[in-house]
Structure 1
Amino acid sequence: MPDREKLQQQADIVREQLEKHPELPLEKREALEKLAAKLEFQLELEPATQSPSISDDVTRAAAEFDAEHPVIAGVLRNIVNTLGSIGI
């Protein structure tokens, strides 16, 4: 599977996790929604115009979710790996 397709699939998984975890505090839910939207926006850009800060944002989010929501943190770490493999 090409990396960009894999990244889209992982962004979809983030959205699914939001649906599966309605108990997430509003602040964390909004942060994940913004992150998913940012990922989807990045997918529309050409690789040369993509911002490397998205990797930092996803890494920070993974650290925030690590203790209470390890599944979400794992998905976010997979996204960081995929971003790295496509040069972001």
Structure 2
Amino acid sequence: MPRESLKQQLQQLHDTLQQHPQLDDESRELLQSIAGDIAGQTEAGQADEALTEQLQQQAIRFEQDHPTLAGVLRQIVDTLGRIGV
């Protein structure tokens, strides 16, 4: 069940990125890359703790200017924790 939740949250991240055109290209590309890495690693049955740390850092970075995006990132971090990352 957490893996299905993770897929939904990754889709929510993609949707949120599309709804925030004011994000700079570097941030958008980084978040899309992170989402792709998470999807690939969790489907392969492995995940990297560095990726979780990177998500946490991005959530902090976006907290003030993009609280919705930061919330989505925090949900993904929580879900990764529940599946053992």
User: Could you tell me the TM-score, scaled by structure 2's length?
Assistant: 0.93
Q: Percent of counterpart pairs with the same letter?
A: 38
Q: Secondary structure at 1:79's aligned position in 2? A: helix
1:38: which partner in 2?
Answer: 37
Deviation at 1:59, TM superposition (A): 0.4
* 1:62 and 2:59 are equivalent in the alignment: yes
* C-alpha contact (below 8 Å) 1:8/1:43 kept by paired residues: no
2:16: which partner in 1?
Answer: 17
Moved beyond 4 Å, runs of 4+ = none
The number of residue pairs the alignment matches comes to 85
RMSD (Å) for aligned C-alpha atoms = 1.0
Question: Gapped runs of 5+ residues in structure 2?
Answer: none
2:49: which partner in 1?
Answer: 52
1:29: which partner in 2?
Answer: 28
User: Could you tell me the TM-score, scaled by structure 1's length?
Assistant: 0.90
Deviation at 1:43, TM superposition (A): 2.3
